[in-house]
Structure 1
Amino acid sequence: MINQKSIAVLPFVNISNNIENEYFCDGLTEEIINALAKIKDLSVTSRTSSFYFKNKTVTAKEIREKLKVVTFIEGSVRASKKKMRITVQMIDTIDDFHFWSETFDRNPENVFEIQDEISLFIAEKLREHIGHLEIEDKLIAPIDVPVAIYREYLKGRYYIMKLDYKNSLKGINILQKLIKKVPNFPNPYLDINLAYVQLGTMGLLPAFEAYEKAQPYLLKALELDPNSSRSQLNLAWIECWQNWDLKKAYEHAHKALEIQQADDIYLTISNFLTVEGKLDAAHNYLDKALQLDPYTAINHHYKGFLYYLQEEYTTAIPYLKKALDLEPKLPFPPIYIGISLLMSGKPNEALTYFGSLKGVSVKDLTKLGGETMCYAKLNETEKCNEGLKELETYLTTALVDKAFTFLILVNALLGNNEKVIDLVEQAYNNRLPLLLLLNPSPILKPVKHHKRFKDIMLKAIPDNLNYKQKKKYKQALLDADEIKKYSKELEQIMTDYKLYLNPDLSLKDLASYLELPANYVSQLLNQGFDKNFSEYVNTFRLNEFKGRILLEENKGLTIMAVAYDSGFNSKTVFNTFFKKIEGMTPNAFIKSTLKN
């Protein structure tokens, strides 16, 4: 079912003679996407999926079917030195008609005003067409740099977003020169950091080298602008993968989500839940990422990876293959396609698959590691030992993470449990991030409850759910002691993770955090709190609202803007629930509180 409040912004078409105007067209599209994503209750297709349709002729029906939206924007830009004409059209994908179009003739020097003006126009017309949306007075804050500098920034980002080695380095070079001119402009630092992280993630640079190069730029960006959603998201990654502090990681990720809904933020939270072993909850967040960005390869890969972790190998493979269809050079899917074949009882097919890999997969040890795993499973001892020896030679190189991963997995398949734990201990001592995703690995099940292994893992992530035996639920529901126990646990989860800030939170989401069936959680809420699900969650949202509405920083916001920031997703629900609990309207509450 398609969300009725959903929109995609297709890349604006450059109809100028100057090819350099392409940078502005892409930048304008991105800014409008980011601006609309700030509107509560509006589902906005992310950049990657929108740009999948760049330079393609598509129908309204195709957009509706492929992006699952009821409206989309298309436009064009013609620019000269003194004049810019931007044409925008809004199309209904259900009935296939253009219900609004506008032409903006503006001075190119007023680029920030243009972006905000167009975003607000779109938001207003969308509200007229699909129903109520709470829209702020400004959606795009002006950037304090000259327009010429901003255009040069867009040029650098244009090349970085092409996602290949040559163009990424070209974009990095442009932005490095820009930083020398305007050292206090945070955007170039964030994008250079992004470029290096992408190069490392895709295997186009050794990961260690790429992340090492990326870090100074991220630190400078955080110094200049710590409160943007991008900065908060990067901080979340650092807290998880470098500092191994999941509580802080969640805090930063949820702050990023409060600022702007984006698929990579949902993907990040899914990553963190995976580390904790909360795979059902990880699926829920990943589905939200896929909904916003169905054409991002990494989202499809991660869906397949989650199914792999749950030992649903035949379900995993199509998602992993879809990821490669979208991004053939993505280095992760081949690993898990091969391992899924291996673990589903097809070692010879897996061996053939790993043997056929070329390019990036050879460079990042996937071919060598995968074949060695297959030899272990096929009891081809001599070939397996040769592979192990070759993998060990990479332990002192930039490929140390991948070498450790395959050495651990091969030894697990051989049943060398003590060797596995020795390697895991070395990975822990070297603070290798791979350790965190070994937690839920199905291949490591034989050592999961070994005391040494548990001690290492619990030092990394305390109270990890991977080490709790799967509960066998009795036919009867929870008894009084269990209700007391789980009530306390649920309150802690709601406080730590602020789940109520997610407007789409469901009973199933809560159940996945508690690792209980939904029926049990429904009973828990009813008997432990004397509330149904909506009443329980909205109580947290109400308290959040009461705290936020009096903050100085929120004085310029409407009541409903703060309500939406607090997790409510309906004006009617908010007003009705507020009056039921407080005995007065929100306006009366505010006046009464201010008097006191």
Structure 2
Amino acid sequence: MIINNKKSIAVLPFQNMSSNKENEYFCDGLTEEIINALAKIKELSVTSRTSSFYFKGKKVTAKEIKEKLNVATFIEGSVRLSKNNMRITVQMIDTVEDFHFWSETFDKNPEDIFQIQDEVSLFIAEKLREHIGHLEIEEKLVAPIDVPVEIYREYLKGRYYLMKFDYENIVKSFSIFDNIIRKEPNFPNPYLDVNLGYAYMGTLGLLPAYEAFQKAQPYLQKAIYLDPNSARTQLNLSYIECWQKWDLQKAYEHANNALDFQPADDIYLTISNYLTVEGKLDSAQNYLDKALQLDPFSAMNHHYKGFLLYLQEEYKNAIPYLQKALELNSSLPFPPLYIGECLFLTGKHQDALTYYKNLEGVPVTDLTQLGGLAMCYAIMNDLEKCNEKIKTLENYLASEKMDKAFNFLILVNVLLGNYDKAIDFVEQAFQNHLPLVLLLNTEPIVKPIKNLERFKNIMLKAIPDNVNYKQKKKYKQALLNSDEIEKYTKDLEQIMMDYKLYLNPDLSLKDLSSYLELPANYVSQLLNQGFDKNFSEYVNTFRLNEFKERVLLEENKALTIMAVAYDSGFNSKTVFNTFFKKMEGTTPNTYLKNIN
């Protein structure tokens, strides 16, 4: 397996070596802080918490980490904690060569917790830079928090229970956070965590969504007041702008602010959500792929991959991702709905009916089973049973489940051919400002009503920048002006570095245009005027630089020149040799002899 990014790392959960099992929370908190600290280094790709903690308590090899997380290095360590001393042992392993290239032991006073987190994070970053190449590292990676150490340790305990993400432990964490808030009312973290807990319970149906949102609001507002510029606060502000205020421009601004503070998979996933709402599915896929790269064991990331394939009407390809999401988190409520829809939209009506009838683990009040059966009966033309389910769904319109009820009533009526009735429900949902309206924009089942004037008008009110209904731009003859060329050259360079697109041997001009969201003609002009290169020259320059880095690595000494060239993105011996000689003025063989 070829590692996509040499500057990539995972931090596995630190092992608790103390006799007191309660110190588990401290180990998890330390691991999470180191992950967050390393994620601040722009050039470094850091596996997210969910995927790192997937390996907690498991004995794993370097080969398994390489294959499952696709990282070049990983950190493992342990903590032995007593009243007056803390010993942290850290070691770094190269997954390609499978060797420990350094280890270090820190003996510290437990009271110096913030200094310890920063010192360990900086030490890891420095050793990583020595091993993999240049990284821009700030003087401090972990800023001290202005609360007493005993309060912070109590906070880590609350965080430990919260991140178990089941009802009992979330409620337990709330008790700890509320106690901290009484003692330290100006500490923003517990407010954000209570908000996160309620959001999770509302999303997964552990509480009615409306009730969860109402309970979360005061905590979120206080967190925003205390710390408006953190990544987590900006992300929450982004959610509000999109799903409550329907202002996508501001939602993007806050999400991009969060991304600047700390590149993380949930932020990439969030931006993918917004692109989906607008109908920009190719771009949404690009951001989701980045989220999956950072967190390949996130159930939500796998669900969304399946959801995007569903929206693109690739139903058979969607099902494995939706099933994988349930395998990772069986309580996730979204995948079952789309698995059933994928079945009946591929003609497997009876299979879909059986699937919905036998649903397990999804609460009845979630309405997935009820709505799923209603859609099956509609598509199978069993009107008696369908109408019975419709009446039950209508009973939920005055409840906290009104958003789900409206969604299913819209879909069922479209399947029945009752288009006016379906649009009546869309209008009511719009008047109630329900977020489901935004998701109708790309829903395949509503295709029969998408070009009806009433539906189009609602969609344009909800999403003014709607690519499905906006008139196509009449591109000016001059294409890009000088300011736009300057902007997009920077954007393209960042995209090439973030996604390493040049490693794809089949990369096309069209692929670049989808990332930049520009027509291919514009991108062609951009390459010509912004870089003085055509497409092949531009991409092959990245591949050549990649080759020159890879060919010097000890791990590649046994490979042929062309094997390294192919790993660097070249797909032709002739193209590689010709381009190499043109740029370097010599052959690859002579070049290697001169530098060895």
TM-score (norm 1): 0.84
Query: Per the alignment, in what secondary structure is the counterpart of residue 61 of structure 1?
Result: helix
Which amino acid is the alignment partner of residue 14 of structure 1? N
Q: Which residue does the alignment assign to 1:213? A: 215
Determine which of 459, 470, 473 is the counterpart of 2:461.
459
> 1:411 and 1:494 mapped to 2: Cα distance?
46
- C-alpha displacement at 1:521, in angstroms? 4.0
- C-alpha displacement at 1:525, in angstroms? 2.5
Cα distance change of structure 1 residues 489 and 427 upon mapping to structure 2, 3 Å threshold: farther
Matched, 1:354 2:356: yes
Q: Which residue does the alignment assign to 1:484? A: 477
In 2, are the aligned partners of 1:74 and 1:88 still within 8 Å (CA)? yes
In 2, are the aligned partners of 1:522 and 1:533 still within 8 Å (CA)? no
Q: Which residue does the alignment assign to 2:523? A: 522
Q: Which residue does the alignment assign to 1:85? A: 87
In 1, are the aligned partners of 2:512 and 2:523 still within 8 Å (CA)? no
> 2:434 and 2:260 mapped to 1: Cα distance?
30
Which amino acid is the alignment partner of residue 285 of structure 1? Y
Which amino acid is the alignment partner of residue 385 of structure 1? N
Question: Number of matched residues?
Answer: 527
Question: Where does 1:97-116 land on structure 2 (aligned, <5 Å)?
Answer: 97-116=99-118
Which amino acid is the alignment partner of residue 106 of structure 1? K
- C-alpha displacement at 1:211, in angstroms? 1.4
Which amino acid is the alignment partner of residue 188 of structure 1? P
Question: Where does 1:221-232 land on structure 2 (aligned, <5 Å)?
Answer: 221-232=223-234
- C-alpha displacement at 1:244, in angstroms? 0.6
Q: Which residue does the alignment assign to 1:504? A: 498
Residues 88-128 of structure 1: CA distance to partner in whole angstroms, max 9, x if unpaired?
01011111111110010000000000000000000000111
Q: Which residue does the alignment assign to 2:120? A: 118
> 1:40 and 1:526 mapped to 2: Cα distance?
25
- C-alpha displacement at 1:523, in angstroms? 2.9
In 2, are the aligned partners of 1:193 and 1:215 still within 8 Å (CA)? yes
Query: Per the alignment, in what secondary structure is the counterpart of residue 451 of structure 2?
Result: coil
Cα distance change of structure 1 residues 520 and 296 upon mapping to structure 2, 3 Å threshold: same
Determine which of 8, 12, 35 is the counterpart of 2:14.
12
Residues 515-572 of structure 1: CA distance to partner in whole angstroms, max 9, x if unpaired?
666x4343343578785599xx9xxxxxxxxxxxxxxxxxxxxxxxxxxxxxxxxxxx
Q: Which residue does the alignment assign to 2:279? A: 277
Residues 226-270 of structure 1: CA distance to partner in whole angstroms, max 9, x if unpaired?
000111111111111111111111111111111111000000000
Which amino acid is the alignment partner of residue 484 of structure 1? Q
> 2:143 and 2:173 mapped to 1: Cα distance?
24
> 2:477 and 2:363 mapped to 1: Cα distance?
51
Determine which of 229, 239, 258 is the counterpart of 2:260.
258
> 2:206 and 2:20 mapped to 1: Cα distance?
31
Query: Per the alignment, in what secondary structure is the counterpart of residue 69 of structure 1?
Result: coil
Question: Where does 1:126-275 land on structure 2 (aligned, <5 Å)?
Answer: 126-275=128-277
Q: Which residue does the alignment assign to 2:399? A: 397
Q: Any stretches of 5+ residues in structure 1 without a counterpart? A: 472-480, 538-596
| Identical counterparts, % of pairs | 69
Cα distance change of structure 1 residues 166 and 530 upon mapping to structure 2, 3 Å threshold: closer
Matched, 1:311 2:319: no
- C-alpha displacement at 1:17, in angstroms? 1.0
Matched, 1:291 2:285: no
Q: Which residue does the alignment assign to 2:438? A: 436
Residues 302-337 of structure 1: CA distance to partner in whole angstroms, max 9, x if unpaired?
000000000000010000000000000000000000
> 1:416 and 1:489 mapped to 2: Cα distance?
52
Which fold has the larger relative contact order, with Cα–Cα distance below 8 Å and residues 6 or more apart in sequence?
1
> 1:22 and 1:381 mapped to 2: Cα distance?
56
- C-alpha displacement at 1:203, in angstroms? 1.4
> 1:527 and 1:93 mapped to 2: Cα distance?
40
What is the root-mean-square deviation of aligned Cα atoms in Å? 2.6
> 1:412 and 1:514 mapped to 2: Cα distance?
35
Cα distance change of structure 1 residues 407 and 307 upon mapping to structure 2, 3 Å threshold: same
Which amino acid is the alignment partner of residue 523 of structure 1? S
Residues 324-360 of structure 1: CA distance to partner in whole angstroms, max 9, x if unpaired?
0000000000000000111111111100101110232
Determine which of 23, 30, 37 is the counterpart of 2:39.
37
- C-alpha displacement at 1:130, in angstroms? 0.7
Cα distance change of structure 1 residues 202 and 172 upon mapping to structure 2, 3 Å threshold: same
- C-alpha displacement at 1:201, in angstroms? 1.1
Cα distance change of structure 1 residues 414 and 488 upon mapping to structure 2, 3 Å threshold: farther
> 2:91 and 2:65 mapped to 1: Cα distance?
15
> 2:377 and 2:518 mapped to 1: Cα distance?
39
Q: Any stretches of 5+ residues in structure 2 without a counterpart? A: 502-508, 539-596
> 2:482 and 2:358 mapped to 1: Cα distance?
49
